[in-house]
Structure 1
Amino acid sequence: MKPRTRPTLARRLVSGLATLVVLGTVVVANRPMVAVASEALHTYKINRQSYKERYGHWANLPVPRDFRVNAIHAALLHTGKVLIIAGSGNNKDSFEAGSFRSVLYDPAADSFTEIDTPTDVFCAGHAFLPDGKLLVAGGTKSYEVLEDEVDHAAGVMKIKNESPDGGPHVLEKGTRLVSATGHVYRTRDKVTVPTARKMTHGTTTTVHAGEVEVWVDAVEKGDAAVVGQPAQYSLEGLTGPNLYGVSEKITREKQEYGGDKTSYEFDPVTEKYVKTGNLQDPRWYPTLIGLNGGDVLAVSGLDQFGRILPGRNERYLTAERRWVKAPELKRYFPTYPSLHMMGDGKVFYSGANAGYGPDDKGRTPGLWDVRNNRFQQVPGLREPDKNETASSVLLPPAQEQKVMMFGGGGVGESEHSTARTDIVDLDEKSPRYRPGPDLPKPARYLSTVLLPDDSVLTTGGSSGYRGGKYRDQTRSDLFNAQIYRPDRNVFETAAESTVGRNYHSEAILLPDGRVITMGSDPLYDPTGKNAGTFEQRIEVYSPPYLFRGTRPAITGGPAAVSRGTTATFTTPDAARIASARLVRPSSVTHVTDTDQRSVALGLHRTVGGVDVTVPEKAGLAPSGWYMLFLVDDKGVPSAARWVQVR
């Protein structure tokens, strides 16, 4: 009798695959065996250790039904929890019902918590404050109304008061104004018309009318009340010239989203929104960016009537928790401009943006000196007509002062997109963009995440507008992911995701080194024939470094460090630590993230620990909370330790 031998590894793998195929065929009897076999082979392939070491691994995150929300915004708090903000979630029914949502996800406990959300912060702006609170400002005051849904002519009307006497006039909601032709219009909101102001210049006294703007709607349906030119209106039942309305036009055109004035600080410790002073201007789709010194600048956005703000920016005085106008920093940007704080305190506008505004205004990249409002244009960006829905990131480490632009598409609902990446070195005397490696496919809405090993994960996106048709594709979501290596200027292929992510999607680095991805608001379902639904599934990506051996550990150290100083952190793995990075947590929406950065620390290994030195420049390491990662000689990072930079 022949001796029994163990089957070879290859034979065992083939046998295992055959078993998977048989089981799959039994379970899914109506599906072709080839398809089941293919899926079994793919599942086996992506779960091999050698595959994960090279490409990483994706996993679905189970989300309890009661905590599934439309992720419009997301931010990693210094408690390690992820704040997922939906507001009304791009759902008009939720808006009208006053149903606004935020959820906290705790990766350490794998738990979710509902957060009371006082107003509709859908499409607000946000940025971290030095103490770790998240400033959230603006949002939605009114939803868009498409042209075919506009039954009553409507428009913005200025109510003027030419009398300097008698005080302000309060007009209740529904106040009626009458045109010269007898058509009647009603105000949508209660407003107060200021008193006129007397101004004396020498012997001449002039009166400047007080005025306030308000939406008005025609009482009657149809086109009869449409007015296509400037006109004056009288208040019904009021005689005399002192109080009247004027409007440029009243139409049945599409009505855009209206911005809100509310502002909050979200406290990670109490896990509550805390009201601050209101914005000076309502803002929908604004960008917020922290400045040296701790204040925050708010730029762009649509006002309460859906008009893009014409360069009126404002400053949040953090110590006083109030907003003030900043006329000295008047500068026009399209909505959600992608801004990056540079080492010298200047703000770089990469050219990436998320949408509203004319295609010939405010779209040129440049360095903005927020001390004197000077703007130095930066040339060289290829395909500048495709900067909308592009992504940009301050490449790691921040000391290199290089910004990279990824993909993008044409203005508005354009079907055009690009695989372009361009890179600019802002330390050059005359900086200009230069070509980087192309993406594998044209991509809009691409998420970019800084990893602690000085690489950049790019994931998600679509080639078409909101995942819609692109060339011969019915749906254009992209599942390929790449890791960009700045030191070699190349993309490396990463494992493919399983969930499409386009408009309204986010990706964030977690303290354990993984990346969480969420959101997506496609126009169509996977067939391309029916309306899409918001993607509420969440995926988590584990980069290759998590499969390459034992991770170093940080066992102790200070909770706070000062710029320009050295601090000691204990680790049993000091001998193999090759680098230390402070990674600022992300606060992202519409692929716009002004917080994300990775700062290299000076490193000296000691017995049982490492000494790390923080850069002196506030523009390199703005005050706030960071994740400290120690990375070994194989590129494997520790789990993060939270450290506050002061």
Structure 2
Amino acid sequence: MRTHWRVLVGMGAMLGLALAQPQQQGRWDYLGLGSKRQDGGDLFIKWRAETLIFNYGTWPSALHDPPYKTGVPSWVNGNDQTYGIHAALLPGKWTPPGMSEPLPRGTVILWGLGKYYRLNDLFYSYTPYLLWHWRYPQDNMLQRRNYGHVRYLRDPLVSSYEYDYLNQANIFCSGHSTLHNGRLFVAGGHLDPQVNPPGEPPRYYGLKCAFTFNLDKYNDPAGNADVGAYGWSPMLGNPAGMDDRRWYPTPVGLPDGRMLIVGGFRFNPGPEPNDPDFHQWPHLTRTYGVWSPDTDPNGLGRFDWYALPSNLNNPDELGVLRRMGNIYPRLHLVSFMENGRLQADIVYTGPFVEAQRMDVAKIGEPNAWGPAIQVSPLRKYRHYGTSVLLPNPALNPTQWGEQALNQTLSLGGGVTDGCQNWFDPEILTFGARSQPIGFNTIFTPSELAAPRMHLNGVILPTGELFVLGGQSIPDVANCVWGRDDIVFDTLMLRPGTNGWLNSTWQRMAAMPSYMSDTGERTKTADGTRIYHSSALLLPDGRVLSTGTDASQTAFGPYQLNRIPLIYSPPYITQGLPRPRVTGQSKEENLDYGETISVQFDGTANPIRAVNLIRPGNNTHSFDFDQRMVRCYFRQTGAGQLEATMPWSPKIAPPGWYMMFLVDKSNVPSEAAWVHLRPVPNGGEELSLRVEFELGAYKLSPGDAQKNPIGIEVRAVGTGELLRVYTAPMSALDGQAGTTVRITTSLPEGQYDLRPLPYLNWIGKTTRASLRTNPTLRLTPAR
């Protein structure tokens, strides 16, 4: 059967290549050094977590010294691993050592396996991490800065106690997400003890540690009250760290800027399937938490913890524990309409087949998590499959529901008790809580449906989904697999005329199967992306693919990939003109629904979409932060448009987003950046009434829903323009009135409010408080 499948895939690949031109499939590139090997080939980058390979030349030299002593001690030489098991795109501006000006926003941080060692009766752990930027200036160093810049995250406190789960710094197998202030939040990690406790089987343990990383402080070696050495701040103090050890936890950003932490093993269950500990589930975490970044004057925040249902005698509660207290639960913040109002839930989409949801307004309540929902008997269990929050297909939304994000895609994965993987894309639609969760599958031609686990899905600026990586035979349950089972084909999923339910697949450029690393132990093809790989969208619209570290077993080969690759989608390889953002009226601390002006050039085509994409945080086949939000916009002239920020933090949690302009040819710009500020109570919606004086002009009840209305807010007395909001309107009532809802950070007080001209009407100024449900009036233009 396996051979038959490979023949089908090979025939499908030839068919796909015959039907599509190379520029329509995109292109894979290596990171070059600008020089040649002895055989004439290009030299290219290898990212490996080993000090020696970086310790040369004038940049950055001594800054690569290991953390606890100068020179290169023997314990470093064995750390010949890979960066890119974990990858995150940071929105801060980084000034690398030796440079006087910061690089554009969008520095990538990568790390892999941390290490432990003993020295003078003390126990040390550390994690090497690498900073790399997609736009280093080219100079006479043969592009050597493409190697990136390496430092080490060190233990907050060093002691002789090996099982200090709080004060260790191996953040391999952590969960990570970007906070609203642009800092990286990292929770949990990995303890691989050198000696297990007496009577204990060999285990890995989770950590209680949590950190934030501030890119702006990367060059600060001493730290201060606000930040630790080189930008890292450990969560120490009271309460200290997390409440429990967590290995593979999932963080999710909430509408109010807090961070939800769910899941992670306390320790791995052990090597024996009949281990009595395993069946009593002591390795599963029994709580979930919320970290509040703004409650501590030093910026270290506060944790609050709540119980997950965990009654072993209650199958329903045990099911909650098994799903939520497990490794990397696939969680998303979704938004949907219920009774005419926007709502938000945290939803669980895998790997177990049951779905589950929690009202974000009920976090901490005893029954916050709703019951497990058997969505369909056709749903697949998806060990190391991926789950993606899908963009709303409405290109230029005019109503709340057209901007809400309520569909997820589950893709790939397999079972843990048998040798079977699948592809089988499934869409879940989360509507009102009183309604069943929708379940649909996407038709996939057999020649494109290669089963795969350890895959990744990356949302592109155009709103399409790029799928890469994986292996066709599971690497669990004693399944025999080899290098021939690695999947190099990549795919693009494009929404259809009716959205994602009739979307279509297209084969894209295959990842390189050439084998640069031919070592007897590490023989790995350059395009191998399986266990411990990651993928990120870059601000220029390309995709960074890194990592792979799969240990050798009796059933499969050792695969270690230290070669980063860059994918250029067809909108780059076809050579079409790209829009280019040349200016914007405001970048930072934007309100929800606030409208800004954007200037652009580079294309004569009209703009068809303005898309915001949150910078990614990827590991283990899942991106904790990935979401695209489409903005309402109006093109106001040649090279000019007005873009309205998302209408609610329930749709787009506060923080930094890449803003892409997409033209009529479906070609995106490089990213500009916008920052959505946190608002009180996670987005209190204020209601304003708008009334039209009809007179000679008529406005049907439904016309008001076709175009949002602009409202300017000015300071009383000075007339200073404070904000321009643009918001959807509901249908007109019998008095030619309608309701507009906005979310604002403006303090309480009196303001001069005026609707902007709307069709054949002009607005009157009303002095009122935004929080008293004021009525705004428009009269016919004379």
State how 1:106-145 maps to structure 2 within 5 Å.
106-109=133-136, 110-118=146-154, 119-143=169-193
Structure 2 counterpart SS, 1:486: strand
2:369 alignment partner in structure 1: 374
Q: Distance in 2 between matches of 1:127 and 1:273?
A: 15
Return closer, same or farther for 1:96/1:523 CA change in 2, 3 Å cut-off.
Answer: farther
CA RMSD in angstroms, aligned pairs only: 3.2
| Contact kept in structure 1, 2:610 and 2:660, CA below 8 Å | yes
1:520 aligned onto 2:548: yes
Q: Distance in 2 between matches of 1:605 and 1:470?
A: 56
Return closer, same or farther for 1:618/1:58 CA change in 2, 3 Å cut-off.
Answer: same
Structure 1 counterpart SS, 2:358: strand
Q: Distance in 1 between matches of 2:658 and 2:361?
A: 30
How far does residue 432 in structure 1 lie from its aligned partner after superposition? 2.7
Q: Distance in 1 between matches of 2:421 and 2:26?
A: 28
Return closer, same or farther for 1:328/1:473 CA change in 2, 3 Å cut-off.
Answer: closer
2:349 alignment partner in structure 1: 350
1:262 alignment partner in structure 2: 209
Name the stretch that deviates more: 467-476 or 257-266.
Answer: 467-476
| Contact kept in structure 2, 1:569 and 1:609, CA below 8 Å | yes
1:308 aligned onto 2:283: yes
TM-score (norm 2): 0.58
Deviations 1:428-487 (A, max 9, x none): 632132112345211111100000111000000111234999788664110000000122
Structure 2 counterpart SS, 1:579: strand
Structure 2 counterpart SS, 1:371: helix
1:228 alignment partner in structure 2: none
Q: Distance in 1 between matches of 2:256 and 2:216?
A: 23
Q: Distance in 1 between matches of 2:547 and 2:305?
A: 34
Q: 540, 563, 566: which is aligned to 1:537?
A: 563
User: Residue type of the partner of 1:404?
Assistant: L
Structure 1 counterpart SS, 2:170: coil
State how 1:133-532 maps to structure 2 within 5 Å.
133-143=183-193, 216-217=197-198, 250=199, 254-271=201-218, 272-277=231-236, 278-303=241-266, 307-319=282-294, 320=296, 321-327=300-306, 330=309, 331-332=320-321, 333=324, 334-343=326-335, 344-352=343-351, 364-372=354-362, 373-381=368-376, 384=379, 386-397=381-392, 399-411=404-416, 414-427=418-431, 429-438=435-444, 440-466=449-475, 475-487=484-496, 488-498=502-512, 499-524=527-552, 531-532=557-558
| Contact kept in structure 2, 1:137 and 1:262, CA below 8 Å | yes
State how 1:541-560 maps to structure 2 within 5 Å.
541-548=567-574, 549-557=576-584, 558-560=586-588
Q: Distance in 1 between matches of 2:538 and 2:587?
A: 18
| Contact kept in structure 2, 1:87 and 1:102, CA below 8 Å | no
How far does residue 257 in structure 1 lie from its aligned partner after superposition? 0.9
Q: 601, 606, 616: which is aligned to 1:576?
A: 606
1:616 aligned onto 2:647: yes
| Contact kept in structure 1, 2:46 and 2:563, CA below 8 Å | no
Q: Distance in 2 between matches of 1:531 and 1:56?
A: 30
Deviations 1:195-227 (A, max 9, x none): xxxxxxxxxxxxxxxxxxxx741xxxxxxxxxx
| Contact kept in structure 1, 2:465 and 2:494, CA below 8 Å | yes
Return closer, same or farther for 1:305/1:324 CA change in 2, 3 Å cut-off.
Answer: farther
Structure 1 counterpart SS, 2:202: coil
Deviations 1:475-509 (A, max 9, x none): 41100000001224111110100111111110110
Name the stretch that deviates more: 123-132 or 63-72.
Answer: 63-72
User: Residue type of the partner of 1:364?
Assistant: E
Deviations 1:525-546 (A, max 9, x none): 9xx9874142111111001111
Q: Distance in 2 between matches of 1:636 and 1:402?
A: 24
1:208 alignment partner in structure 2: none
2:696 alignment partner in structure 1: none
Q: Distance in 1 between matches of 2:481 and 2:384?
A: 21
| Contact kept in structure 1, 2:173 and 2:190, CA below 8 Å | yes
| Contact kept in structure 2, 1:604 and 1:610, CA below 8 Å | yes
User: Residue type of the partner of 1:537?
Assistant: I
Structure 2 counterpart SS, 1:292: coil
Aligned length: 487
1:602 alignment partner in structure 2: 632
Structure 2 counterpart SS, 1:269: helix
Q: Distance in 2 between matches of 1:461 and 1:606?
A: 45
User: Residue type of the partner of 2:246?
Assistant: R
Q: Distance in 2 between matches of 1:131 and 1:88?
A: 27
Return closer, same or farther for 1:625/1:399 CA change in 2, 3 Å cut-off.
Answer: same
How far does residue 419 in structure 1 lie from its aligned partner after superposition? 1.8
How far does residue 578 in structure 1 lie from its aligned partner after superposition? 1.0
1:643 alignment partner in structure 2: 674
How far does residue 122 in structure 1 lie from its aligned partner after superposition? 0.7
Structure with bigger gyration radius = 1
1:63 aligned onto 2:45: yes
User: Residue type of the partner of 1:563?
Assistant: Y
| Contact kept in structure 2, 1:364 and 1:378, CA below 8 Å | yes
TM-score (norm 1): 0.70
Return closer, same or farther for 1:633/1:425 CA change in 2, 3 Å cut-off.
Answer: same
User: Residue type of the partner of 1:133?
Assistant: R
1:38 alignment partner in structure 2: none
Structure 2 counterpart SS, 1:546: helix
| Contact kept in structure 1, 2:533 and 2:549, CA below 8 Å | yes
Q: Distance in 1 between matches of 2:377 and 2:493?
A: 19
| Contact kept in structure 2, 1:378 and 1:432, CA below 8 Å | no
Deviations 1:4-36 (A, max 9, x none): xxxxxxxxxxxxxxxxxxxxxxxxxxxxxxxxx
Q: Distance in 2 between matches of 1:604 and 1:385?
A: 42
Q: Distance in 1 between matches of 2:476 and 2:244?
A: 33
1:165 alignment partner in structure 2: none
Return closer, same or farther for 1:340/1:400 CA change in 2, 3 Å cut-off.
Answer: closer
Q: Distance in 1 between matches of 2:268 and 2:384?
A: 23
Instruction: Determine which structure has greater relative contact order: mean sequence separation of CA pairs < 8 Å that are 6+ residues apart, divided by chain length.
Output: 1
Structure 2 counterpart SS, 1:368: strand
Return closer, same or farther for 1:374/1:140 CA change in 2, 3 Å cut-off.
Answer: closer
Q: 82, 88, 99: which is aligned to 1:75?
A: 88
Return closer, same or farther for 1:472/1:108 CA change in 2, 3 Å cut-off.
Answer: closer
| Contact kept in structure 2, 1:379 and 1:433, CA below 8 Å | no
1:562 aligned onto 2:591: yes
User: Residue type of the partner of 2:356?
Assistant: G
User: Residue type of the partner of 1:314?
Assistant: G
User: Residue type of the partner of 2:87?
Assistant: A
| Contact kept in structure 1, 2:416 and 2:476, CA below 8 Å | no
Q: Distance in 1 between matches of 2:358 and 2:459?
A: 24
Q: Distance in 1 between matches of 2:477 and 2:573?
A: 36
| Contact kept in structure 2, 1:74 and 1:588, CA below 8 Å | yes
Identity, in percent, stands at 27
How far does residue 304 in structure 1 lie from its aligned partner after superposition? 5.8
Q: Distance in 2 between matches of 1:54 and 1:621?
A: 32
| Contact kept in structure 1, 2:356 and 2:369, CA below 8 Å | no
| Contact kept in structure 2, 1:599 and 1:620, CA below 8 Å | yes
Structure 2 counterpart SS, 1:541: strand
| Contact kept in structure 1, 2:475 and 2:556, CA below 8 Å | no
Q: Distance in 2 between matches of 1:533 and 1:380?
A: 37
